[in-house]
Amino acid sequence: MSDQPDLSDLQSSGQLDSVPSETLPVGWNYEATVAEIEAIIDRIERGELDLADMFDQFSIAVERLRQCESFLARQQQQVDLLVETLLDEPDLF
């Protein structure tokens, strides 16, 4: 087994507290969310939506972008902490 911290260790220790804490829906998937955002942008650019629907879809896209940003920030924080752990323990190499 590895002595490296995993995401649950980092979360329980509070080391991820500086990262936005957007709660992602169960089953949330980064790639699917990006595809949804791209589809919304495509419909807006093609002019397929009336004005009210365009604003609704724009709001959805903004929310999905926030979810992606939160996810990526948390993943970056985890990577940074794991790299720091590796640098602090040169005996691992």
> What is the secondary structure of 17-75 as a DSSP string?
TTS--PPPPTT--HHHHHHHHHHHHHHHHHT-S-HHHHHHHHHHHHHHHHHHHHHHHHH
Q: Are 16 and 10 in contact (CB under 8 A)?
A: yes
Q: Are 30 and 68 in contact (CB under 8 A)?
A: yes
- For 14-54, write each residue's pLDDT tens digit: 544 544 556 899 999 999 999 999 999 999 999 999 999 99
Length of the chain: 93
Q: Where are the domains of the chain?
A: 52-93
Q: What is the mean pLDDT of residues 66-84?
A: 96
Q: Are 82 and 4 in contact (CB under 8 A)?
A: yes
